[in-house]
Structure 1
Amino acid sequence: MARNTIPGLKSGGGLPKLVGLALAATLVVLLIKYPNETAGWVTGLVHGIGDLIDGLATVFRKAAE
């Protein structure tokens, strides 16, 4: 099946790099302007991932019984 592309844009061009650069710049600005809030977000994210892993482990343990 042929890939549909937007006319005038090459597939796999610089857009993914541009989006990655914009995301990285945003993270740097957040770290510099709001270090305490950013640390809280990262801590919450890590705790959320831990809770997700614990939940999956519980599901697999129940399924194994």
Structure 2
Amino acid sequence: MAKNPYPVMNTGGGLLPKLLGLLTLIAVVVLVIKYPTDAARWVRGLGTVIDGLVAFFRALFG
């Protein structure tokens, strides 16, 4: 049988990245439940940053 000419990526990951992802998800859910007003303000601020980046790239390439 011939060797595969394409390298195979190891996408399994270990326990630590999965645990960190789960802890991050739990922290975000707790923040949204405990402080919904602050969470909405952060999301609105993030939207403002994204709008600014879009305007920058449109001005740069448009």
Would you call these one fold, judging by a TM-score over 0.5? yes
Residue correspondence of structure 1 range 1-65 to structure 2 within 5 A: 12-61=13-62
Q: Which 5+ residue runs of structure 1 have no aligned equivalent? A: 1-10
Number of equivalenced pairs: 51
Runs of 4+ in 1 over 4 A off after TM superposition: none
- Identical amino acids, percent of aligned pairs: 45
AA partner of residue 49 (structure 1): I
Report what 2:3 is aligned to. Answer: none
Q: TM-score, length-normalised on structure 2?
A: 0.75
C-alpha RMSD of the superposition: 1.4
Whole-angstrom distance in 2 between the partners of 1:51 and 1:17: 33
Question: Which one scores higher on RCO, CA 8 angstroms, separation ≥ 6?
Answer: 2
AA partner of residue 51 (structure 2): G
Whole-angstrom distance in 2 between the partners of 1:12 and 1:32: 30
Whole-angstrom distance in 1 between the partners of 2:15 and 2:55: 39
